[in-house]
Amino acid sequence: MSKLFLAALVLALSAIELQAQNSTTHQHEQADMIDGSAHPELIPDAVAYRLYFVVISENPTPLPNESRRQHAHLQRAGLKENDIRAAATVLANFKVQYALLLDQYSKSPEVLRNSSDGLPLFIVKRDAIVQATRDALKSALTPSGMASFDTHIQREKTMMKVAATEVQP
Amino acid sequence: MKSRILLFSLFFLILLVLPTPNQAQGCQGVMSPSYSTYTSLSLDSSLHIYTTVVVDGSTVIHQSEYCNIGGATHKGSVYNKLGSTGGWVYGPPVPPAQYFAVTNPQEIIGVPGVVYTDTTQADVLCSFVGGLFNSGPGNSLIKIGIANYILESWDSTNCTYMLYCPNGNTAASCPTATVVDYGGMQAEIPCNQLNYHWVYTLVFNGKCFPISVGVGTTVAHICQ
């Protein structure tokens, strides 16, 4: 009987150990960040433009306070009135396309089965929208307006914190 | 009899602590949060101060087939409190692999010389393990500085003003020696009829931000 008891005790302890090992289920890594206030030069332009566009873009028919806010941001970027109007149209297009892409990705089979397998393709499409928006701004704005805009984005990197995976994927 | 009870108790304990088949698969991989944040700041001619905070990104899931994350959700939230205005904006709970962007815009009408605190933070919470991403709290001090300028000269197009603070030029937060009101002579009230020019500037954590708003006036203002 004592042997049986000992065997049961060993089995119980093994089970507890196994349970402890499985406590790693749904484990997360600590996020590494690039702090733009310390190292703005490490933040890629594609990331900086994307974050800026996400913040200042408004819907094609914005509310009055949304228009005021966007106007203030674009004025701070050094744009004159005609360039602000042109940029607002381009940025509205960005907002629509970005929202559509995020919506499509959220409904993708990969995301629905908790997989990031579709992420590389999503990132390609996301960055293509950002680049297309930059190209559209270049066409729509005056050269001096675009130069001010580009300078502004470089300055704004100091206000960004970017995931290290965006810098070295 | 005593031994049997003890044996039965041990058997019951084993049943309790043995992992379920789903748990037993374990999690060979990990989830890597990949989120970026940005805080924008601006000022307009009505002295509205605007700050917007965004968190944008997703959690990268490796080898999800080994992870027991069925039913887990992630939720992005952004805190932005400018002065006494604002608070948290929460995104909806979404599947862990979903990409999202949550923004929190706030605005106040600023009073020149008053220092406002802007507190910001971006979080992503996992319904299974809690905090997954935290940008860390940011506390910024924001002020509208004002500098007073006096008319010095003009031509057919522009007016030039020089710094003149009734309370001493060192009181100006972001002074420049002169400012030019370009095209001011074509305004409804030509600039040479306005002896003073106020320039509002946004001061962020003690540093002058390259945002300034100029106003022609007939009254001098103390500098702040």
Residues of B (7-46) whose Cβ lies below 8 Å from A: 7, 10-11, 13-14, 17-19, 23-24, 26-27, 30-44, 46
Chain B residues 82-121 with CB within 8 Å of chain A: 94-101, 103, 105, 107
Cα(first)–Cα(last) distance of chain B, in Å? 89
- State the average pLDDT over residues A93-98: 98
B202 contacts B41 by C-beta, under 8 angstroms? yes
Interface contact A68, partner B, CB < 8 A: yes
Model-level pTM? Answer: 0.82
Instruction: Sort out which chain B residues have CB atoms less than 8 A from A16's CB and list them.
Output: 17
pLDDT tens per residue, range A2-49: 565 555 555 555 544 444 344 444 555 555 889 999 999 999 999 999
* Residue B62 pLDDT > 90: no
The band of B72, judged by pLDDT with boundaries at 50, 70 and 90, is confident
Coil/strand/helix, residue A8: helix
Q: When comparing pLDDT for B130 and A52, which is higher?
A: A52
Q: Residue B122 belongs to what H/E stretch?
A: strand B115-126
**B23 pLDDT exceeds 50?**
no
Q: What type of residue sits at position B38?
A: Y
B93: its two tokens = 């709970």
Residue from B108, B95, B96, B112 nearest B31 by CA: B96
Span of A31-45, A138-152, B107-121 with lowest mean pLDDT: A31-45
Look up tokens 């929202």; give the residue: A99
What would you measure as the largest C-alpha separation in chain A, in angstroms? 93
Query: ipTM of this predicted complex?
Result: 0.83
Find which of A19, A76, A106 to mutate to test the B interface (most B CBs within 10 Å of its CB). A76
Q: Measured between CB atoms, does A65 come within 8 Å of chain B?
A: yes
The model's pLDDT over B161-217, given as tens digits with 9 standing for 90+, comes to 999 999 999 999 999 999 999 889 999 999 999 999 999 999 999 999 877 788 899
pLDDT at position A155 over 70: yes
Closest of B70, B75, B201, B67 to residue B133, by C-alpha: B75
